[in-house]
Amino acid sequence: MKQPPAYRSGAASRAFAPPPRSARTARSGERVAFNANPLLTVKLPRWRSMLLLFLLFCAFALLAGRAFYLQGGIGTDFLQRQGEARYARTLEVPATRGKVTDRNGVVLAASVPARAIWAIPDDVDLSSRELAQLAQLLAMPVAELKRKLAAEDRNFVYLRRQVEPEVAERIAALKLEGIHSSREFKRHYPEGRTAAHVIGFTDVEDRGQEGIELALESTLAGRAGSRRVIKDRLGRIVDDDWQRMPVDGRDVVLSIDHRIQYIAFSALKDAIETHRAKAGAVVVLDVKTGEVLALANWPSFDPNRRDRWDAATLRNRALTDTFEPGSTLKPFSIAAALDAGRVSPELRVQTAPGRMTIGGRTIGDAHPHGVLTVAEVVAKSSNVGTAKIALDLPAQALWETYTAAGFGQAPSRASAGFSGAVAGRLRPYKAWRPIEQATIAYGYGVSVSLLQLARAYTVFARDGDVVPVTMIRTDSPPAGVQVIKPATARTMRRMLELAVGDGGTAPAARIAGYRVAGKTGTARKLQNGRYVNAYVASFAGFAPASDPRIVVAVMIDEPDAARGRYYGGDVAAPVFAQIVAGALRTLQVSPDGSLDQPRLPLQRLAEAM
């Protein structure tokens, strides 16, 4: 049967046309050439293949250049540094700071183990609970801990220095990612406030900041070592190598006797609290060697408790504060006149009516005395009598005596162990007017430190010479420098012994069993160029008077004047007596007086001279 004509159209013919030969052949399993694919018969322009080849060449050239840059030495140093920063570290190994002991070997300062807690902020990933635990162990607010961990330096930040080892172990037990600890030292001061101003303190880097710690830093500090370590990716040390071994600091033996230091500190503290004073200081010197046996200040501070410090308590007032010495300077004026042969102890001086006008300015005594011998001028502390004697001398002679005794000069910090000691103020004699010569003679218009005053009194306790003072124990006393004649010094000792008699200004300075000698001082304070109703009470003296062993100087700043007890004889002299009594017994010095000494009138004592 023939097909209908419609099915013979062109579309139908193509639809039912037989497949091409190649297709039939493929189905039948015959081989067909790969390039028979129509896509592969497309011809590309030659320039495109050349461009592709050129680009591949350039890429390989860049890679080769980069490899040469990295491996051929041009960038090697930088890359090595970066690599080493990831696996190698140079750790500083601190040296052990030297100990500080008193003259008897009692430890006053020592280094104890501590830990520094630090972090690598980039590695830290702590939960809120872990942050709170760490902050509690470090004794800091969580906000402060977060601030430290957000530091710009993402590789290292200290969280807390000088942490107790027990606390560091508890932190390590938490196994916090990125939190580490390292070994270090911190100073411990067994005597606390008692010797705080003598020893001073160090900072968190274990460097001296005040006192002996600062003055002898080069001796105590030693030299830190360094160790190069290699760590794996977990932070474990797999290799190490010493680059420099640490050299520990040397120990220092001070001249301080911790027993006398405690006696001085306790007596001073009690006196300041009793008289409601602002502050005070005490210095105890060994007459024979110039060694400082005690140096105390109040208010004081505990060098072990940094969180309780304030500026007022840190000042070593015995070295850094100056004051007008008042009547404690009078013996040096009298000694200059005795040395020059202008007066003798028996010479009578008219002090009536208790006032004296010089160049339109009037000076006066606290109480009128009339005619006094030179010895009585010292014992009764007459300003008028001292001024008259001083004005009979050339100003240069007075100035030379004061200067030779050490006024206006600071002690050597490097050799003697003093830190921050001041020179005081003593104007050149050529600038003195007569009124200034008179007032300087009894202790106004000149300023001294308590250490200077104590050292100067060794001139009378010795045979007229003075030796350098030192905080370091010495077994060989240095040579002295002559200030006044030996005979003058012996005469002044007897005069100063009268000052603590019944007719003197300081009977409260006497102690049972020992003869003592010294001089009181009561000076108004100068504020903003004017003298105000505030005082500095002082006393300087020595004992035993027959063969002096120690010099003690006491200064009480602003005792309560409203209570009427602000004179040196009432405030400072009892402190002197308490310290001397304890110190002489501690040093086992034999008594040179009776336990019940007769209190002779001043006139009979003067005749005994």
CA distance linking residue 442 with residue 382, whole number of Å: 9
Question: Rounded to whole angstroms, what are the CA distances from 500 to 457, 458, 509, 574?
Answer: 16, 18, 6, 11
In one-letter notation, the amino acid at residue 374 is V
Domains 90-123+156-253 and 258-607 share a fold: no
DSSP-derived pairing of the beta strands 292-298 and 157-163? unpaired
Which stretches of 414-466 are assigned E, i.e. beta strand? 465-466
CA distance linking residue 264 with residue 283, whole number of Å: 8
DSSP-derived pairing of the beta strands 100-101 and 252-253? parallel
Q: What are phi and psi for residue 2, nearest 5 degrees?
A: -75, 145
Helical ranges in 444-524 per DSSP H? 450-461, 486-498
Which stretches of 96-146 are assigned E, i.e. beta strand? 100-101, 107-119
- The number of angstroms, rounded, from the C-alpha of 343 to the middle of its chain's C-alpha atoms is 47
Those residues whose C-beta lies under 8 Å from the C-beta of residue 138, and which sit 6 or more positions away, are: 117, 145, 159, 160, 163, 167, 171
Those residues whose C-beta lies under 8 Å from the C-beta of residue 267, and which sit 6 or more positions away, are: 282, 575, 578, 579, 582
- The number of angstroms, rounded, from the C-alpha of 169 to the middle of its chain's C-alpha atoms is 31
pTM score, whole prediction: 0.80
CB 463 within 8 A of CB 422: no
Beta bridge partners of 254: 472
pLDDT, mean of each 10-residue run, the chain (609 residues): 46 48 50 62 75 90 82 65 64 83 96 90 87 92 90 82 92 90 90 95 90 92 78 62 80 96 97 95 96 97 88 91 96 96 95 92 90 95 96 96 93 67 92 95 95 97 94 89 96 95 91 95 90 94 96 96 85 97 96 63 43
N- to C-terminal Cα separation, the chain: 176
Those residues whose C-beta lies under 8 Å from the C-beta of residue 147, and which sit 6 or more positions away, are: none
pLDDT of residue 11: 45
Q: Is 449 a catalytic residue?
A: no
CB 378 within 8 A of CB 323: no
The residue whose two tokens read 């050529």 is 430
Domain 90-123+156-253: CATH class, spelled out = alpha beta
Closest CA relative to residue 498, chosen from 510, 481, 485:
510
Q: What is the dihedral of CA 489, 295, 562, 387, to 10 degrees?
A: 20
CA distance linking residue 519 with residue 516, whole number of Å: 10
Q: How many residues does the chain have?
A: 609
DSSP string for 321-350:
--B--GGGGHHHHHHHHHHTTS--TT-EEE
Q: What are phi and psi for residue 43, nearest 5 degrees?
A: -95, 120
Closest CA relative to residue 273, chosen from 518, 559, 469:
559
CB burial string 19-39: b at 16+ within 10 A, e below: eeeeeeeeeeeeeeeeeeeee
The CATH code of the domain at 258-607 is 3.40.710.10
DSSP string for 52-76:
HHHHHHHHHHHHHHHHHHHHSSSSH
| Catalytic entry in 300, 327, 381, 538 | 327
CB atoms within 10 A of CB 356: 18
Closest CA relative to residue 452, chosen from 366, 551, 534:
551
CA distance linking residue 160 with residue 165, whole number of Å: 12
Cα angle 524-527-532, degrees, rounded to a multiple of 5: 45
pLDDT of residue 74: 58
pLDDT of residue 84: 63
Those residues whose C-beta lies under 8 Å from the C-beta of residue 234, and which sit 6 or more positions away, are: none
Q: For the chain, give every domain's residue range.
A: 90-123+156-253, 258-607
Using the 8-state DSSP alphabet, how is residue 140 labeled?
Answer: S
